Amino acid sequence: MRDLIKKLVETYGPSGSEEQIRDAIRAEVEPLVDEVRVDALGSLIAHKKGDGQRLLLDAHMDEIGVMVTYVDEKGFARFTRIGGVNPLTCIGSRVAFEDGKVGVIGVEQKRDDADKIPKLEQLYVDVGATDREDSPVQVGDPAVFMRPFAAQGTRLIAKAMDDRIGCAVLVETLRRLEETPHDLYVVFAVQEEVGLRGARTSAYGIEPDVGIAVDVTGTGDTPESRPMAVKLGEGPAVKVQDSGMIAHPKVRRLLVERAEEAGIPYQLEVLARGTTDAAAVQLSRSGVPAGCLSIPCRYVHSPSEMVDENDVENGVRLLLEVLQNPL
Amino acid sequence: MILKELSDAFGVSGNEDDVRAIVLDAVRDHVDEVKIDAMGNVLAAKRGTGQDPMRVMLAAHMDEIGLMVIGHDDNGFLKVRSVGGIDPRLLPGTLFVVGPERIPGVVGVKPVHLLESGERKKVSKIEDLVIDVGAQSKDEAEKLAPLGTYATFATRFQELEATVSGKAFDDRAGCAVLVELLRGEPFTFDLHAAFTVQEEVGLRGARVAAYAIDPDCAFALEGTIADEIPKEKDVSPTTRLGKGPAITVMDRSFIADRRLVQLLIHTAEEQDIPYQIKQPGLGGTDAGAIHLAREGVPSATVAVPSRYIHSPVALLSLDDFDNTVRLMRKSLSRLTRDTLK
């Protein structure tokens, strides 16, 4: 599964430009399901037909990034954020454009308050150009953070674990799944990081009976972290609520019961800030009972997000329990 | 000129009747079907020549920002709040037209002679501003302009040299582009025009219009910020006046469909129509609501650059306006189902 994770996290795919990551995931899931299609906004939908209830599983395939807003006379590119990008983690980072071109993020040195975290407007991407005319990038070009996948013990580190780890969990689940009584739709959604947009329209199209998102969540186990009960390596987290959704109690109970029956470690999650595609699925049409299985992740939205391999493995096992048993 | 008529019409969000009447008159003879939906959007369908079964939605919003009367004081002044995004710095001393009777009013301002030191540097909050319609008492004010009465900038359209000035170019410019497109020859597919209500208060009309139309793809037509007025630093303008229609890649409300953006750019380059990419990350348009309708709608936004929007008087270039109509017309004539494959 490490190979799969490495491949997915290193593939390019900021919100709105998910073609490359979609192709990569499509190649993985096409042999595993009955039908694969791409919907109007670009989400990839894999359908494994069954007679039972319509179950939607979702992970978003987009990642945060930056977009060029202006190339100045000397060829430096100013940029805006795609999704929640923090200036603190930008400085010194490298970004990669769709065609592989590389840029370095620099910061204006003469600032009034040099001790404060700079604003995004005070940063720029240096693509090695000497003036505006020879700049290889243009206004509107998106780019993602560059960072190779690394593994140390059971800890896995990469950019875009949010939410390629969810994509990997779903692909791996499909690989191991033999039979399911459910009519299963696995959605690899676009544009989550800019407002849960792909999941909203995909859920409308699928009209599921139950929806479960697989996404990362924060942890409270790092030095001076905000209080949060979730810890890395203690099992996948069953979401109780976050700032966008209260998980349907039946979906929460389903995940907890399946974990306990199968002896799979799990934790309960209450996330103070942030939400997932499940929030959009829940409000689709006349409403959908929805929940979320979270993979604990440190340093979310930085270029070095860290998860624990055991949590990932147990996430797959738990989903398989859900898929192989009645809802 | 349809732009003049539309710009001069009163139509603050929720009160778009006058604009709607002008739009209906302008398009009725050029479309096959026209109706007004439950929220007040004008939905007009122009049948295609039939080669392509696609449904293409074009949207422009009829509403503009303005003020609403929320109270009356003992001296007969009207207390107001804003409808949509208004910058209170622009209001003192501005002429407004109040209510259906079009009563002229002025936003009250202390004469410069009476300003205390320090006052000159302060910006009045909207709560501290009043409209003066000449009423002598609370009673009279209440009769002239009851609670909930709308007030609109009184600016009239004017032709300057290469530019025109007027109010509400956001989005009467888009409405005028859409009227021009409907007046032309039909396309291969059915065109569904939506002149929407309540964009300035949250893209509300477009949301239900897109649900009803259920299109295969959509374009929002806008009047957007041009702000290349002098600045100290080499920083990005949102768009520039006179540099052609502005194509959105990403704003706060949506990320444009890349296939449609490519169609627009290729068309502009092949037809030698000037164009510019709007600075990403700013603003929002009806496309933000449309692209999320039902199962999702690939969408794009094309705008006429306009200086000083959301102020009493804006400025745009008629060349930009004409080029926006041309770019849309040429792009739509090349749009097929395969564009979205």
Given an 8 Å threshold on Cβ–Cβ distance, is A68 in contact with B280? yes
| A225 near B CB under 8 A | no
Q: What is the CATH code of the structural domain delimited by B2-64+167-340?
A: 3.40.630.10
| 3.40.630.10, 3.40.50.1820, 1.10.3720.10, 2.40.50.140: CATH of A2-63+159-323 | 3.40.630.10
Distance (Å, rounded) from C-alpha B319 to C-alpha B324? Answer: 8
Q: State the SS3 of chain A.
A: CHHHHHHHHHCCCECCCCHHHHHHHHHHHHHHCCEEEECCCCCEEEEECCCCCEEEEEEECCECEEEEEEECCCCCEEEEEECCCCHHHCCCCEEEECCCCEEEEEECCCCCCCCCCCCHHHEEEECCCCCCCCCCCCCCCEEEECCCCEEECCEEEECCHHHHHHHHHHHHHHHHCCCCCCEEEEEEECCCCCCCHHHHHHHHHHCCCEEEEEEEECCCCCCCCCCCCCCCCCCCEEEEECCCCECCHHHHHHHHHHHHHHCCCCEEEECCCCCCHHHHHHCCCCCCCEEEEEEECECCCCCCEEEEHHHHHHHHHHHHHHHHCCC
Per-residue pLDDT of chain B in tens (341 residues, 90 and over written 9):
999 999 999 999 999 999 999 999 999 999 999 999 999 999 999 999 988 899 999 999 999 999 999 999 999 999 999 999 998 889 999 999 999 999 999 998 766 677 777 777 788 888 889 999 999 999 999 999 999 999 999 999 999 988 999 999 999 999 999 999 999 999 999 999 999 999 999 999 999 999 999 999 999 999 998 987 666 676 778 899 999 999 999 999 999 999 999 999 999 999 999 999 999 998 999 999 999 999 999 999 999 999 999 999 999 999 999 999 999 999 999 999 999 98
Neighbours of B119 (CB within 10 A): 11
Q: Which two tokens stand for residue B14?
A: 């929720």
> What's at B140, amino acid-wise?
E
Contact A194 B255 (CB under 8 A): yes
Extract the tokens encoding B39.
């929220």
Percent of chain A with pLDDT over 90: 97
Q: Which residues of B are catalytic?
A: 199
Instruction: Tell me which chain A residue has its CA closest to the CA of residue B249.
Output: A140
Q: In chain B, which among 99-118 make CB contacts under 8 A with chain A?
A: none
Q: CA A72, CA B237: separation in Å to the nearest integer?
A: 11
Q: Distance between CA atoms of B169 and B134, rounded to whole angstroms?
A: 29
Write down the pLDDT at residue A113: 82
DSSP result, B102-170: TEEEEE----GGGPPTTGGGPPPPGGG-EEE----SHHHHHHHS-TT-EEEE----EE-SSEEEES-HH
Interface of B with A in 178-217 (CB under 8 A): 216
Separation in Å, CA of A191 to nearest CA in chain B: 8
Q: Which residue has the tokens 């791409």?
A: A38
Position B200 scores a pLDDT of 96
Hey, are the CB atoms on B255 and A16 less than 8 Å from each other? yes
Cβ–Cβ contact B291 with A under 8 A: yes
Cβ contact (<8 Å) for B258 and A16? Answer: yes
Q: Do B249 and A72 touch (CB under 8 A)?
A: no
Distances (CA, A) of B278 to A256, B167, B241, B254: 48, 22, 12, 13
Chain A residues with CB under 8 Å of B296 CB are: 39-41, 43, 197-198, 200-202, 204-205
The shortest CB-CB distance from B280 to any of A39, A140, A191 is to A140
**Residue B231 touches partner A, C-beta closer than 8 Å:** no
In this complex, do A78 and B298 lie within 8 Å of one another by their Cβ atoms? no
pLDDT given for residue A178 in this prediction: 92
**Which residue of chain A is at minimal alpha-carbon distance from B293?**
A201
**CATH architecture, domain defined by A67-145:** Beta Barrel (2.40)
- Give this prediction's pTM: 0.94
Per-residue pLDDT of chain A (327 residues; tens, 9 = 90+): 999 999 999 999 999 999 999 999 999 999 999 999 999 999 999 999 999 999 999 999 999 999 999 999 999 999 999 999 999 999 999 999 999 999 999 999 988 888 889 999 999 999 999 999 999 999 999 999 999 999 999 999 999 999 999 999 999 999 999 999 999 999 999 999 999 999 999 999 999 999 999 999 999 999 999 999 999 999 999 999 999 999 999 999 999 999 999 999 999 999 999 999 999 999 999 999 999 999 999 999 999 999 999 999 999 999 999 999 998
Contact criterion met (CB < 8 Å) for B297 and A194: no
A200 touches chain B (CB under 8 A): yes
- Asked if B175 and B196 count as a contact pair (C-beta separation under 8 A), the reply is no
By DSSP bridging, strand A150-152 and strand A155-158 are antiparallel
Residues A241, A218: Cα–Cα separation, whole Å: 13
Closest Cα of chain B to A140: distance in Å?
Answer: 6
In chain A, positions 232-291, which contact chain B (CB-CB < 8 Å)? none
Query: Nearest CA to CA, how far is B100 from chain A (Å)?
Result: 39
Two tokens at A60?
């978003």
* Interface check B236 vs A, CB under 8 A: yes
Instruction: Delimit the domains of chain A by residue range.
Output: 2-63+159-323, 67-145
Classify domain B66-153 by CATH architecture.
Answer: Beta Barrel (2.40)
Instruction: Find where tokens 């060349």 sit.
Output: B319
Q: What are phi and psi of B324, to 5 degrees?
A: -70, -45
Closest CB to A80 among B256, B281, B291: B281
B265 touches chain A (CB under 8 A): no
Contact residues, chain B, for A81 at CB < 8 Å: 281
* CB of A34 less than 8 A from some CB of B: no
> Contact, B260 vs B224, CB < 8 A?
no
Q: Do A69 and B297 touch (CB under 8 A)?
A: no
B255/B259 Cα distance (integer angstroms): 12
pLDDT for position B55: 97
Q: Which of A63, A172, A192, A305 is an active site residue? A: A192
Distances (CA, A) of B81 to A134, A209, B122, B127, B176: 49, 44, 19, 7, 29
pLDDT of residue B229: 67
Comparing CA positions, the residue from B136, B152, B138 lying closest to residue B94 is B152
* A17, A39, A201, A283, best to mutate vs chain B, most B CBs in 10 Å: A201
Question: What pLDDT does B230 receive?
Answer: 63
Q: How far apart, in Å, are the Cα atoms of B49 and each of A20, B11, B53, B189?
A: 36, 34, 10, 7
- Please tell me which of the candidates B235, B292, B294 has its beta carbon nearest to residue A197: B292
Q: Where are the domains of chain B?
A: 2-64+167-340, 66-153
The confidence score (pLDDT) of residue B50 equals 85
Q: Say yes or no: do domains B2-64+167-340 and B66-153 share a fold.
A: no
Q: Residue B263 in contact with residue B299, Cβ under 8 Å?
A: no
Backbone angles phi, psi at A77, to 5 degrees: -100, 120
A40 touches chain B (CB under 8 A): yes
DSSP B90: G
